[in-house]
Amino acid sequence: MRNLLQGQRTIVFLGAGTLALAAIAIVGVIYLSGGTPLRAPQGGGQAETASSRSFVMHEAPRPLPEIKFEDENGEGLTLADLRGKTVLLNIWATWCVPCREEMPTLDALEAELGGPAFEVVALSVDRAGPEVVRKFYAEIGIEHLGLYIDASMRASFDLQAPGLPTTLLIDSEGRELGRLVGPAEWDTPEMIAFLKNHQTSN
Question: Among 67-71, 95-99, 196-200, where is mean pLDDT lowest?
Answer: 196-200
Q: How many Å is the maximal CA-CA distance in the chain?
A: 78
Which pLDDT does position 18 carry in this prediction? 40
* Higher local confidence (pLDDT), 25 or 154: 154
Question: Among 3-12, 65-74, 172-181, where is mean pLDDT lowest?
Answer: 3-12
Provide, rounded to the nearest whole percent, the portion of the chain with pLDDT above 90: 71
pLDDT band with cut points at 50, 70 and 90 for residue 201:
low
pLDDT of 23 higher than 80: no
**Cis amide leading into 65 (omega within 30):** no
Mean pLDDT of the chain: 81
Beta bridge partners of 184: 50
Beta bridge partners of 149: 70, 124
Provide, rounded to the nearest whole percent, the portion of the chain with pLDDT above 70: 74
